A and B are shown apart, each in its own frame.
Chain A
C-alpha cells in the first residue's frame, strides 16, 4: 500500500522559512515523480511544484511560488521536501504530497495523496 506522510508544518511569521517533508513507503521511491499541491482554508486546490524521478533533475513551479519555494528529494531516504522561504500570509494552506502516475511529470495525474500538513503564516 502506498503511503505518503507529510510533516514539518506549523505556525510561522511572514518572511520566515519552513521545510516540509514527505516520507513515502509502499513504492519504488526513486522511480516516482512527485509533487506538492496546496489548499488554502475554505479554498480550492492549487498545484505548487513537481519533481522528476531518479534524483530529481527536473523541477517545476507555479508562478505563485517561483523563486521562493524549492522542491527536492532524497532517494536514499525515500523523502520529498519543500523548502519554503519568504513566506506570505497567502501561503497559508494544507500542503499535500502527491505521486504522479507513471514515470514522468508530464501528461500525468495525481495518483496518490498524503493526508496533508498545515502551514500557517501569520504575525
Chain B
C-alpha cells in the first residue's frame, strides 16, 4: 500500500525558515517524480515544486516560491523534503506531497494527508 506522510509543519514568524519532510512507503520511491502542492485555508490548490526520481533532473518551482524554497530527496531514506526560507504570510497553507505517475503531466496519483504551515508574528 502506497503511503505518504508529511511532517514538519509549524507556526513560524515572517522571514523564518522551515523544512518539511514526506516519508514514502509502498512503492519504489526512486522511480517516481515527487511534487509539493499547497492549499491556503479556504482556497484552491497551488502547485509548488517537482523533483525527478533521481533527484538530479526535472527540478522546477512555481514563481511564487522560486529562490526561497528548495526541493530535495534522499532515496536511501525514501523521503522528500521542502526547505522553505524567507517565509511570508502568503505561504500559510496545508502542504501536500504527491507522487506522480509515469508520464509528462500533473498526474499525481497518491497524496499525503498534508502538514500545516502557518506564517505569522
A is bound by B: no
